[in-house]
Chain A
Amino acid sequence: MESIFYRYRNIIVLLIVIFAQLILLAWQVKSDSDVPMVRVWAVTAVTPVASAIEGFRNGTTGFFSNYFELRNAREQSRQLRTEVERLRVENQLLKNELGSAQRAESLAGFQARNPSKMIGARVIAATPGMGTRSVLIDRGTQSGVRRGMAVVTPDGIVGTVIAVFPFASQVRSVTDPGFAAGVESQNNHVHGVLKGLGTSSVRVDFVPTGQKVDNGEMFFTSGEDRIFPKGLPVGKVTSVREGANFQDITVEPSGTESAPEEVLVIVDPIHQAIPDAPPGDAPVFLAPDINPDAQAPQMGGAGLTTADKMRDQYKKIGDAQKHVFGVGGPGTPPPNFNLKVPGVNAPADPAAPKTPAPAGPASTPSSPAKSAAPQKEPQP
């Protein structure tokens, strides 16, 4: 008996190990549980090294890129070269910091606008397997992250936390085949279930044939899954095909489109309304008017911008000299725009009768320029 066991011990050990792993798999599937101990060992062994490398890379990228750029400047004087190098390194570092600050500002703005309570995290590793997608972030149980929490960016949803370690968490991406979330279309409020495909696209299942979904329409989270709060952008519809019972809808996820480096973990989700307009691609900046006296144009009133005032003034000066704009060939003398016209670019005649001015500016008696003005737009 012993000799048989000894003779076949290798194959027996192989069968035992395979069988043990099959049992482990079956237990995980059956009880929907995990084996945290194995994950903790492996992730704890790798993530500190990955974090250290990532920190080192962030600190030295600017230095090395500038070093290579400056190799051709050796013939320049040492003093100038040192100065340029120092400034470029500083510039690169500042640019990096500016980029980080802009991303942080974007996240902070999103956090401020969104009623849900969130914490920021940095992506430190990607774990793409065969048809699976997940990332590791640098926040874990020590930061209050729990399994099942939603992970988002201002652009859209990123995934859900599926495993939590002391200083890191594993996030299943929306593109992973195991991912699912309740979604709702923006225009027609069609409900469905978002599912990953293992590629860069995702699909929306269980939308009955006949319900209207348009190409390019945005999908938002519906809040029905009790993971993602309602109203977060999900992605844009890229194709819609009618099926026998349900439609085949493909969506380009907006949250994972640009491989986010910083994300937000929703620790306390609060629902919000789905916006009427799709989220903008970039923030709009409205500069203040350079003329502090300018007033906002009013409905039905004359144009009151600086440009309108200048055009009106030149038109009146031309009219005062009987000049018709747009008439006359090249070489004909232009009107004298330095001519002082009372009420236009000179004080009004104080001797003029003080009758109440009618509504139309052309009929003001104190202004001969205005009274002579033909009602015609000036031509360039």
Chain B
Amino acid sequence: MASGRIMVDSARQVRSASYPVWVYFAVPLLALLIQVYLPLFQTLRFISRIELPLLVTIYFALMRRSQLRGLAIGVTLGLAQDSFLPHQIGMYGICKTLVGYFSASIGMQFDVEHAFVRLVLCFVFYLFHQFFYWLLQRSLLDQPAVFDIQTELLLAAINAIIGVALFHFLDKLRKRD
């Protein structure tokens, strides 16, 4: 999976990955389901801090290597996630739209199958996503939200590690050439 170089240097690394159609429905739906169902249990409440919809957005945006496709999956998952929250629809939609677009853009410069690249991108995009959400909450909705940088850095690291494992699993769903 991981090669020695992290920059794009071969045709294999710029090729867009393709998946069976059911993967595009089942994986985001499963991510949303895990996000809303498992935190019901006292011992599994920490799962609400794992941003599975964000990780799924990053993965498909990186692997499809298309800004428009990244944007589409970002806006879809973001709006779906907004639907389960008691605030106005569009907050997660905007954040994940940007994440989908930018991760597809940046993903074209790197070998996105490299584990280290995935780790760094998940870490950076998680922080970007949380910061931008906080910014929207403060500026657009005028809500008294708190951005605790230490907590967010720790969560970004945890999400990045989980992201690398998740991406490895999702790689197995790719269509074989």
Number of A-B contacts (CB under 8 A): 134
Residues of A within 8 A of B32 (CB): 42, 45-46
B103 an interface residue at 8 Å Cβ cutoff? no
Residue of B with least CB distance to A258: B42
Which residues between 47 and 105 of chain B lie within 8 Å of chain A, taking CB atoms? Answer: 48, 67-68, 71, 75, 79-94, 97-98, 101
Instruction: Give the contact stretch, choosing among B4-12, B138-146, B166-174.
Output: B138-146
B1-46, CB < 8 A from A: 29, 32-33, 35-37, 39-40, 42, 45
Asked, given contacts A25-B140, A42-B79, whether A129 binds B85 with beta carbons under 8 Å apart, the answer is yes
The 28 sampled A-B contact pairs (Cβ below 8 Å) are A10-B68, A13-B68, A13-B71, A21-B93, A22-B90, A25-B90, A28-B90, A29-B88, A29-B140, A34-B88, A35-B89, A38-B79, A42-B80, A42-B83, A45-B32, A46-B29, A46-B33, A126-B40, A127-B35, A129-B48, A130-B145, A132-B86, A172-B86, A177-B144, A178-B87, A198-B145, A198-B146, A259-B40
Counting CB contacts under 8 A, is A372 at the interface? Answer: no
CB of A118 closer than 8 Å to a CB of B = no
**Chain B residue, CB-CB nearest to A28:** B88
- Chain B residues whose C-beta falls within 8 Å of the C-beta of A127 in the assembled complex: 35-36, 84-86
Give the CA-CA distance A33 to B29 in the complex, in Å.
26
Whether a CB of chain B sits under 8 angstroms from the CB of A49 is yes
Give A327 Cβ to nearest chain B Cβ, in Å: 62
The distance in angstroms between the C-alpha atoms of A29 and B137, with both chains bound, is 12
Q: Is the C-beta of A252 less than 8 angstroms from some C-beta in chain B?
A: no
Q: Which range contains the number of B residues in contact with the other chain?
A: 35 or more
Give the distance in Å from the alpha carbon of A21 to the alpha carbon of B40 in the complex. Answer: 30
Specify which of B88, B92, B134, B141 lies most central, judged by the most chain A CB atoms within 10 Å of its CB: B88
Contact in complex: B86, A170 (CB < 8 Å): yes
| A87 at interface, CB cutoff 8 A | no
A125 partner residues in chain B, CB cutoff 8 A: 36-37, 40, 84
A243, CB-defined interface residue at 8 Å = no
Contacts of A10 in B (CB 8 A): 67-68, 71, 101
